[in-house]
Structures are given as structure tokens and as C-alpha cells.
Structure 1
Amino acid sequence: MRAVFVDCTEELSYVIKSRNLPVPDAIRINEGNPTEADLIALCANAEVVLVEHTVVTPNVLDACPSIRAVIFMGTGAGTYINRDEAARRGVDVYTTPGYGDRSVAEHALALAFAAARRIAEMDRQIRSGIWSPVGGLQLKGQKIAVLGMGGIGTSMADMAAAIGMRVAAWNRTKRDHAAFVADIDEALQDANFVSLHLTLNSQTEGILDRRRLALPATGFILINTARAGLIEEATLLEMLADGRIGHAALDVFPEEPLRQGNPYVSLNNVTLTAHAAYMTAAAYEELWLRTLKAYTSL
């Protein structure tokens, strides 16, 4: 089937080439960040569309009736393509779960360390000519609430336990794991760290609302490498300002990239990364191989 990979990143392109990964003749690879008009041109004769980070609108599907399937290279396809709109047009949507479980979990743990030791804050100060050592928080012995126990959340729970944190891991369905807690409020209660690893859907949108954000210990550290829509953003900003949340370490945002003047940029108690948690060479290789498997099974 004729396919086009519409938005290959430089990093993934390098991994494919440097590791001599297979690229079927029927797949055309386009590098960059296409606009809607670019997508329509790229997909004009395609039957399968591979998407890594670009929104595929209903307009694109209408303009390209040859499209029969979209393979989203990740798990949160609903953020990038409306599944209902796709289904109404006879377009199947597939995902490639599991490719970056360890990479994302390691990034979440790195954000936990960075926030606890205020690394980004000190880095900014030193670069601006200020030498002012800042104390931090030791992770061992701290309670962490891990919300979501798919591959990423389970990896995060295991690594946190391995460094001596007290792990309370919640999932909507029961998990056979030593850290599993059946009640989300119990997991959150008095937590010093909260790490999000949930998919975004109608059941999880805004799951961390004002009431639940008040359950962890005052000054807790919030880590989000999942989806921004899991948290009530206005409440998050309010609680960061008044100290109820001590620090937010964020890899995902309601709108990406951040626009000039975004409130997070001016806050010292926020550590930001550019939706990069999954971006390791090992994860990219696995992503491409799983994408090819999904493609060849169509």
C-alpha cells in the first residue's frame, strides 16, 4: 500500500540511516513540520499515512480520499486525529504502543531529580552571573504517587522503588504489582511527588482537579510526561503561585510549542522540556520497527 511518513524528525531520520533500518519502497519519508496545506499535498495519493507529531485534520481526510489508514507513531492518537471523524470517513487509526516505555519513565525520573534539586533554577542563575547554591530534597523515603500503570507507569514505579521512594501506584483497572493502590485519592494523599502516566480520554481529562491537587503534601512536586489535559491548568498555575504545588516538571503542554508570554516561562518553580521524554535512539529504533510492523500487517 502506498504510504507517506509526513513528519519525520531529524533525530528519527538519523537513527533510521545510521542504524540501517529498513524502509519499504512503498513508503515515502518527508522530514519536517508540515502545515495542513503541506499534508494535503503529501497525502494526495497515499493509502496509509504515518504521523509522528502532526495534527491530521478532517480537512486533510476530505481532501485525500485515498487515505484508508493512519498509523500514529505513539499512543495518544486522539490528540492528533479525531478518531470519530476518521471512522466516519472509513479511515482506520492505529497506534504503536510500548516502544518508549523505559525512555519516558527515565525522563520522568530525571525531571523528578531536577525538580527536587532545583537544577534548572541554579543553571539559569549561574548563566546569568549569579553563584548561589540552593538546597534540595532527597528522594529516598519520599512518597510518590504514580498515576497510570501501563508500561511507562510501571517502569517509573519500579525505578522509584529501587531508589528508596515509597510508591503508591494507581490504575483504573487492578494491577498485580506490589505498589498498586485501588483508590486514586489514597495514592495521592500526602504524596511528596506525583507523576502522571495516563492516556487522555473522556474518563481522564482533568482527573487532577482542584480537589485532587489538594490531597498531596503542601509543596509537592508534580511531574507530567503524559498529556497536559490530565490537569486543570488554571488550578495548576494558581497552586504554583501560592506554593501549594512546590514545583511542576512538565514535558507536555496544552499548546505546543509554547507561545511567547506563556506563564510557565516566567516561573522559577517550573522545569520545562520540549515534549522530548520518548526521544532516545533506542526508543526511536523500536518506534520505527513497530511502525513498520503495523504497516505490513494492513
Structure 2
Amino acid sequence: MRFRVIDADADIASGIPRLRRPGDPEVEILMAPAALATALADVDAVIVDGTNLPTEAVAAHPRLRHIIFLGTGARSYMDPDALAAIGVSVHIITGYGDTAVAEHTIALMWDAARKTARMDGGIRAGGFPRFEGLQLTGRTLGLLGFGGIGREVARIAGGGGMRVLAWNRTPRAAQGVEFVDLDTLLAESHVLSLHLLLTEQTRGFLSAERIARMRPGAILVNTARGAVVDEAAMIAALRSGHIGHAGLDVFDIEPLPAGHPLTLLPNTTLTGHSAFKTAEAADNLLLGALDHARRLLG
């Protein structure tokens, strides 16, 4: 089988050769951006970081049977169901950055509670702002979705003295976590943290109606996918103060356009889809891709 990375950056280009083990398949590396028709030609499997793959573009290359996506959010870049219908399997990599994303989630939560970024910006601008913060010890953290990342967030937050509630679409159990119905989660959480995979069932899941059922003044943290939230409803709730502060690493449109309403609100903390970006998570991600390649090679 022939394997190719079609949109490598410098870290991927150096990381795959460094992490390959003896006997692993050779992996050709194309740097981003590469012409899609060239990138998909004459290869059995491609490794993809962040390139949109229309089904019709893939269908034009009948040799291509496998797509290894570097992460979990393949649906943001391709239609796995449509690809499966033409005989192309999409492989994702889970668990590689659970701790990294969980730590970033906690960082956004603490910033929202203590307004550190806002004070930093004010001091750099020549002022000396001082804001009253929210003490999180003893407060309730609600996890909307409870996979590997949610489990790590619960571990860290529980160690910090927070009460941890969770709701998941399928039954789960975890020590120190109380699983509740969705209405209870929304009503009781001082901090609501989103950990849902993006599917057609979860798109817009945190709707205007569900936002209205959140505890007034609650903090919202999203390190999952922007599209799991009704963005317009979230912005309206931030403006009214119903959501006290939002810590967001993901957005409907990325990069976030200049002048976007979220950038103009004082009660937001915004980071650039970087929750997963640690050296440890990066190596785990590439090792996961090589594991897939090794398995496909047989």
C-alpha cells in the first residue's frame, strides 16, 4: 500500500520520520497547500490534517480506499457516510489529546472566573483594572458529554474541589461524578463545559431554548466544536448577561473573521482552536496515524 500525508506542516513533516518504527510503512509527505487532484492521485491511503475532501474529488481516484484523519472531527472536513458509500473508509484518532484539551478547558474556565485575560489586556493598555472573580471551589461544573476529555476535566475539577455533574447521550459512570438529566445539568451548573462530538444529531445541540434553561450568569466553555452551539443565541445570551462569560476555543467559522461579534464582547475569552496543541498530544496524534497505517498494511 502507498501512504501519503497531503497537507503536512513542519511539525508533521518532521514528526512522522522521527516516530516511525522499523517495519512501519513508508509515508510520502506533501506540504500544505497541495493541489487536491495531485495529492489524491495514485495512492491507497491519505493522512489528512485539515483539508476539505469533497466526496466527488475522492471518487475521481478509485485507488484511494482509506483516509486517516488527524483527530476526531473528520465530519468538519468530509462526509464519512458518503465516502463509505463509495467504498472509502475514514479512520479517526481518538484519545490522543484528552489531557491537553482538558487542561485547556480548565484554563478557559479559570480565566472566565477570574477575568485574567481581560485584566492583562487592560494593564498592557495603560490601565490597572481590578475585577471581582468567582471562586470555583465548591461550585458546580456541568459536563455536556462525557468521553475521554470529559473524564479528564472531571478528574482535574474534582481535585480542585468542584462538584461535578455530567450528562451523556449513552449511560456512563465515573467515580466522583454525578450523572443527571439534561434539565438538571443546565439549571445547576455554575460552569457548563461542552464535550460533544459534532454529528448531525449534535449540531446546534445547545440551542436558544436550552441556553435559556442554563443557570443565569453561568460560565460556558467550549473546546469541542463551534457548531454544537447556536452561535447567534449564545451571542444574545452573552450580551444580556444570561451567560456571564464564555471561554471558546472553537467557532462556527475558523479562523474567526476580524470584527466578529464575539471579538467585541468583553465577557468572552477566545483562543484559536489550540486546546489540543501540546508536544505530547502532537506525538500521540502522529503515532495514532502510524498505528492505522500499520494495521491497514496488515
1:10 and 2:10 matched: yes
Give the SS at the match of 1:144.
strand
1:32 and 2:32 matched: yes
Following TM superposition, the consecutive aligned residue runs of length 4 or more in structure 1 with deviations greater than 6 angstroms are none
Change (3 A) 1:237 1:16: same
Deviation at 1:47, TM superposition (A): 1.3
Cα separation, 2, equivalents of 1:27 and 1:15: 11
CA contact (8 A) 1:246 1:269 kept: yes
Aligned residue number for residue 147 of structure 1: 144
Cα separation, 2, equivalents of 1:48 and 1:190: 47
Deviation at 1:142, TM superposition (A): 1.2
In the TM superposition, what are the counterparts of 1:100-179 in structure 2 within 5 Å? 100-177=97-174, 178-179=176-177
Cα separation, 1, equivalents of 2:107 and 2:221: 10
1:227 and 2:238 matched: no
Query: How high is the TM-score relative to the length of structure 2?
Result: 0.93
Please list every run of 5 or more consecutive structure 2 residues that lacks an aligned counterpart in the other structure.
Answer: none
Q: How many equivalent pairs are there?
A: 293
Change (3 A) 1:296 1:183: same
Cα separation, 2, equivalents of 1:259 and 1:292: 35
1:188 and 2:186 matched: yes
Deviation at 1:53, TM superposition (A): 1.9
Deviation at 1:165, TM superposition (A): 0.9
Query: How high is the TM-score relative to the length of structure 1?
Result: 0.93
- CA offsets 1:104-156 (integer angstroms, 9 cap, x no match): 11110011011111122112212222222222111111111111111100111
CA contact (8 A) 1:115 1:248 kept: yes
CA contact (8 A) 1:61 1:89 kept: no
CA contact (8 A) 2:248 2:271 kept: yes
CA contact (8 A) 1:190 1:215 kept: no
Cα separation, 1, equivalents of 2:158 and 2:200: 30
1:49 and 2:64 matched: no
Cα separation, 2, equivalents of 1:33 and 1:119: 37
1:255 and 2:234 matched: no
Cα separation, 1, equivalents of 2:131 and 2:106: 20
Give the SS at the match of 1:124.
helix
Question: Cα RMSD over matched residues?
Answer: 1.7
- Aligned-pair identity (%): 41
Deviation at 1:25, TM superposition (A): 5.8
Change (3 A) 1:116 1:33: farther
Give the SS at the match of 1:140.
coil
